[in-house]
Amino acid sequence: MYDVVLVAFEGPDRYSFVGGLATRMIDLADALVDRGYFVHQLFVGDPKLPAREERSEGRLVLERWSQWISVFHQRDVYDGEDGKWRDFSRTVPPHVADLVAASASEGRRTVLLFEDWQTANAAIGTAAILDLRVPGAAAILWNANNTYGFGSIDFPLLRRAASITTVSRFMRAEMSAVDVDAAVLPNGIAERWLKALSPTEARPLREAFGDRPTFVKVARFDPDKRWLWAIDAIAFMRDTGARPRLLMRGSRSPYGDIVGARIRTRGLSIERVALSAEAPTRDLAAAVAASSADVLFLDYFIPERTLRAMYQAADGVLANSEKEPFGLVGLEVMASGGVAYVGRTGEDYAVPFGNAVVMQSDDPRELLATHATLRNRPEVVRTIRADGKATAKRFAWPRVLDGYEAAWETAFALTSS
């Protein structure tokens, strides 16, 4: 059994939770602790919280980094990103090396998992220090969840410092284009997503949605997330008299202004729903039932139980990105018993009209056509929901971790050879 150190910008704090990377790191850390590992999770955390915090009876240690910078950039983890990246690259390596040395002094080896471009320099620096202090005491892996920031990475140095992994065959092909050979280790979802959702959660939303075709989109405001396609698709459905409804939740990115402008340009009515993070799902259902708007902008931190209820109750969840490295939301929708509308890139798990809907074009009219097909074939919808749940079970972290552990053994073997 090894100690594990997870290094990423995103993490469990609300401040640090922007997208799929935070979900990955939180759930991976919990799965590792459940399997018996001691885990350090190092991330750019909320400046108002303790720099170090122990959870799970000391088996999980959270370390909030660059807080002295974050106090001046309180929007989120990526506010002031350049300064945080520079601080991270300089100060993380000696600290992680100390953690490895401490474990080595007690006869334990350490697995270091660095995530995405912001940690590449830290991985390189850590490898250089460990080669001098405790060679062979750690296996260093660097993982790419997307291609952001690739231009800032010294890949020749990174290849020598770490074993490189990624999350899908699509991403492996993307990395081959920059002459990087990466092993594919898929993402996972937390087992709690597989537990049956109480009927009292989804039923109020299902009743509030009524006979209006209702779709959900939860994603960062980013061009790759195909927000404009979603707005155009809803507008086209409206123009045919279908009376669609879109529940949307974005991020604090300036791209949200572009999405808002598209909503206004297409003449869609929009209402803002702002509830507390502790609000029960029935409060959202009441807001939906009271609104006749085409678009409901959910301007609050949505509890996981409400997310799952929305995914299950809606006609579809629009998770079809332009360039999706993995598609974590798609799997969460499947686990919730929903119908995931995914794209054509990194969602290796998706089977068209088997366990998901795979959008095959950039034409917004495809949403109407697909919805009409499914409305007339309810048996297909039932199959998609059932097969989606079965697929999600295969990607629960306890099953996915078996492959990770095999990769760690390989990395240690290469380190010692």
Q: What proportion of the chain, given as a percentage, has pLDDT over 70?
A: 100
Nearest to 8 by CA among 33, 43, 46, 35: 43
- pLDDT tier, 19 (very low <50, low <70, confident <90, very high otherwise): confident
Say what the pLDDT of residue 376 is.
96
Structural element, H or E, at residue 64:
strand 60-65
Q: What proportion of the chain, given as a percentage, has pLDDT over 90?
A: 95
- pLDDT tier, 262 (very low <50, low <70, confident <90, very high otherwise): very high
Say what the pLDDT of residue 30 is.
97
Is the pLDDT at 403 greater than 90? The verdict is yes
Say what the pLDDT of residue 199 is.
87
Say what the pLDDT of residue 417 is.
61
Say what the pLDDT of residue 402 is.
95
> 3-state class of 54 per DSSP?
strand
* Overall average pLDDT of the 323-350 stretch: 95
Say what the pLDDT of residue 414 is.
82
Domains and CATH numbers, the chain: 3-188+397-416 (3.40.50.2000), 192-394 (3.40.50.2000)
111 Cβ contact partners less than 8 Å away, ≥ 6 residues apart: 2, 3, 4, 5, 138, 139, 141, 408, 411
Model confidence over 299-323: pLDDT tens digits?
A: 999 999 999 999 999 999 999 999 8
Tell me the average pLDDT of the chain. Answer: 96
Say what the pLDDT of residue 352 is.
96
Model confidence over 266-290: pLDDT tens digits?
A: 999 999 999 999 999 999 999 999 9
d(CA 93, CA 29): 20
d(CA 10, CA 399): 24
Model confidence over 151-184: pLDDT tens digits?
A: 999 999 999 999 999 999 999 999 999 999 999 9
d(CA 16, CA 39): 18
